[in-house]
Amino acid sequence: MRLHAPLIIDIAGTALTDVDRARLAHPLVGGIILFKRNWADRAALVQLCADIKAVQPDLLICVDHEGGRVQRFRTDGFTHIPPMRALGEMWMDDGKGKKYREGAGAMRAMNAATAAGYVLGTELRACGVDFSFTPVLDLDYSDLAPTPAQALAAPQGGPGSLGRPSASRSSVIGDRSFHRDPRVVAALAKSLMHGLLQTGMGNCGKHFPGHGFVQADSHVDIPVDKRSLKAILDEDAAPYPWLSSVLTAVMPAHVIYPKVDARPAGFSEKWLKDILRGRLRYDGAIFSDDLSMEGARRINGQLISYTEAALQALNAGCDMVLLCNQSLGFGEHVDQLLDGMDAALRDGRWVPDEDSESRRLALLPDTVPQAWDDLMRQPAYLQALDLLP
């Protein structure tokens, strides 16, 4: 067992190069995140995952595969998973006229969420992928999103009487969110997580403590949420303690909440150690969001290097850090991160954490996946397909 391998990196193409293999063999690299550019077809993905495992068997192969617009693999048999908002709308739909039955929409939605998790997990695992960064636990602050009161008493006529949200307050979250009500979000997320766990795959709640309220996109901006800690914990962060029995990983937001800390949540000991670990008693893995995003590049107003961003995230309480899309071209930023982390380890600016390594290893599936052709005939998989909205 390695002492601690906290770095999650990526590759540029659909097959490993010698440079990719050398980077993945680095003792501080614990995983890889795949993107749409790494997809050629299903056979190539299976081969790529096998080649990655041949470098280091315990590398965690990850992907952002939520459904809707955030789904990296969409062809050659992969099911198009609906956006999570579709499940929230199903929750609100109790039928019309004689078909109206109070609570029927909620039950259908929870079954559909479990099915979505099962389909998502089995298809990825059949190709060799270990882990997906899903589900989004952010709340839907669209202008016309159902309120918590409406969620508890969905009116006859279902979501059509409420109107479909035309625009989300958050430009990056949008229909990736299940619902406006944190109770509905928690119920549907738990159902989806149950489907994932049935396949042997973990889950990742994101973006703690909540990205849905801010309009700015942390990929290109530094969002600021000026609400109080109480308001955030009562609303946006509420799903996290409710899901504590099934949540295997958390990804904090690159959002600043100035009434709590001047640093973005993913670089804040207050958020990660005091609140998430201490107050909310979460003990699973914590991933940083992508360190190349604008929201991670400036800490306390200063532009910092990827190595410094990784060190600050790890020292704040992250177990693993992601550097995405920097393998393109010559990938010099990936090499700089690897060299910088080596130097930080030698200089004592970063101390490996055995508990963090245990959390990383716990995310690796411990069951054998089904082959794709067998999956296509499996009754549970076929039933799950029928339950999707």
CA distances from 66 to 116, 123, 137, 146, 268 (A): 9, 13, 11, 22, 26
Q: What is the pLDDT of residue 292?
A: 85
pLDDT of the residue at 149: 62
pLDDT at 150: 61
Residue 254 in tokens: 């690159």
- The full set of domain ranges for the chain reads 7-82+110-142+181-387
**What are the residues whose beta carbons fall under 8 Å from the beta carbon of 107, sequence distance 6 or more?**
none
Cα gap 108→110, rounded to integer Å? 6
Q: Looking at the DSSP assignment, which residues form a beta bridge with residue 323? A: none
* 7-82+110-142+181-387 fold: TIM Barrel (3.20.20)
Which residues are tagged catalytic?
219, 289
Asked if 66 and 370 touch (Cβ cutoff 8 Å), the reply is no
**Cβ-contact 11, 327 below 8 angstroms:** yes
* pTM of the predicted model as reported, rounded to 2 decimal places: 0.91
Cα torsion at 294, 300, 304, 310 (round to 10°)? -80
Tokens of 118: 């099962």
> Taking phi first (over 0 means left), then psi (-120 to 50 degrees means alpha), and beta for anything else, what does residue 310 get?
alpha
The pLDDT of residue 165 is 35
The sign of the torsion formed by the CA atoms of 173, 176, 180, 183 equals: negative
Report the DSSP beta bridge partners of residue 136: 206
Helix, coil or strand: residue 362: helix
- Per DSSP, the residues of 136-190 read B------TTSPPHHHHHSPPTTGGGGT------SSTTTGGGS--SSHHHHHHHHH
State pLDDT tens for residues 56-78: 999 999 999 999 999 999 999 99
Is the Cβ–Cβ distance between 207 and 293 less than 8 Å? no
CB 117 within 8 A of CB 195: yes
pLDDT at 148: 64
pLDDT at 222: 79
| Per-residue pLDDT, 56 | 97
pLDDT at 227: 95
pLDDT value for 303: 81
- The pLDDT tens digits of the residues spanning 117-126 come to 999 999 999 9
In Å, how far are 20, 26, 109, 346, 380 from 342, measured between CA atoms? 18, 10, 48, 6, 47
User: Which residues in the chain land under pLDDT 70?
Assistant: 1, 143-171, 216-221, 294-298
Q: Which residues contact 113 (CB under 8 A, 6 or more apart)?
A: 87, 188, 189, 191, 192, 195
